[in-house]
Amino acid sequence: MQTLPMDGVVVADFSRVLAGPYATMLLADLGATVIKVERPGGGDDTRSWGPPWTEHSSSYFESVNRGKRSITLDLGDPQDQESARELIRRADVLVENFRSGSLARYGLDYDSAREINPRLIYTSISGFGSKDGADLPGYDFVVQALGGLMSITGEPDGPPTKVGVAVVDVLTGKDAALGIMAALRHRELTGRGQHVEVNLLSSLLASLVNQMSSLLTTGIAPRRMGNRHPSIAPYEALRCEDAFLAVAIGNDGQFRKLGEALGLVALADDPRFATNAQRVANREELARQLENVLGARTAADWQQRLQRVGIACGQVNDLSRAVHYAESLGLRPMVDPGGGAAMQVRMPIDFSDHGSAEVTAPPRLGEHTKEVLAWLEDAEQQLSPIVARRNS
């Protein structure tokens, strides 16, 4: 039987919507036992965020909740509060994204949890931190606006534009999972638990890397450039006969290869384009000349021709074509959790010494309440592995 990195780690998941559930799903994929605590009746808000719908829930909910157990607890009920406190006593990790101060009403805040379990890694996810922004509701779209991401996304003459997925929530979920694993390692060394805090705004700002560095270096805020790169050219989507082709040229040698492949041998010696700095300065004329040639063939044809000579490029795919392309390269982007759930995007990390946990369907609301409560009442009882409901 294979041993997984997070085997034996019990996670009490009090989080809802996306960033927290995504973090705990990553831990489940690595072998952790994740117990998702939901409110009776409705559960996680995203259970009702449809269409599209699956056989048992919304595709949104199922995208970030596989491999977990679901229990329902009314945190306003004294008996359920005691069950929650017993779960904290048994857990290694707690993840929550309640409004700041909300859990203190139930005796489930960090200070209370630390008294119950000093070894607990208590993880709080918020929109804007626990200080002056503690009372601000944190939605990915709003953070993309306030955090500057929309200001650098979209066409130069168009409106600020959000990224096409809740990327800030995803980044924050990954930061939360990373912080949890670091804190677990620290606990191995010291025996102490701690409070891990992440917030959407800080995760977004940290992810802006070279764009933020440009601001800090020059004092000038970067602007929207569509698909172009502020420091490299050509590095953009160029129009072919039928579709757009993303072309990324990282140095002068690659640019010479591009010119040769397109039949524009003299392009690399043109003083307007001979160096990257000159290409950036003359990017409009460069794009015009490249598109004059690219327009004669399909994007798929050019992709094949250019990749053959080592040029980084690719047709702009929709999501369906993106999955098929990954599969054509021998990758395994999808996994079937069974149980009537939709296909899932597989965890993208591969290990040479072990795999990931068997993927099981996202839980139905309260599906494991009886089992988990029995476990909480009996210190000798063990939680059995989750079995995929492939024939239910």
Token pair, residue 340, equals: 């009537």
What percentage of the chain's residues is helix, strand, coil (to nearest 5)?
Answer: 40, 15, 45
Q: E strand or H helix at 312, and its extent? A: strand 312-315
Within 13 A of 79's CA, how many CA atoms are on the CB side? 3
Tell me phi and psi for residue 163, to 5 degrees: -70, 150
Q: Could you tell me the end-to-end alpha-carbon distance of the chain, in angstroms, rounded to an integer?
A: 26
Instruction: State the residue for tokens 């607990």.
Output: 120
**Among this protein's residues, is 169 annotated catalytic?**
yes
Tell me phi and psi for residue 199, to 5 degrees: -145, 155
Query: Which residues, in sequence order, are CB contacts of 322 under 8 Å at separation 6+?
Result: none
Please, are residues 253 and 235 in contact by the beta-carbon 8 Å criterion? no
Task: Name the CA radius of gyration of the chain, rounded.
Answer: 25
Query: Which residues, in sequence order, are CB contacts of 193 under 8 Å at separation 6+?
Result: 114, 117, 118, 119, 120, 121, 122, 183, 187
Residue 19 identity (one-letter amino acid): A
CA dist 93 and 184 (Å) reads 9
State the catalytic residue, choosing from 169, 336, 350, 378.
169
CA dist 57 and 216 (Å) reads 45
SS3 for 304? helix
Within a 10 A sphere around the Cβ of 162, how many other Cβ atoms?
17
Please, are residues 28 and 386 in contact by the beta-carbon 8 Å criterion? no
Query: Which residues, in sequence order, are CB contacts of 255 under 8 Å at separation 6+?
Result: 234, 249, 267, 268, 273, 276, 279
CA dist 66 and 63 (Å) reads 7
Question: Any idea how long the chain is?
Answer: 392
CA dist 11 and 25 (Å) reads 10
Active site residues: 169
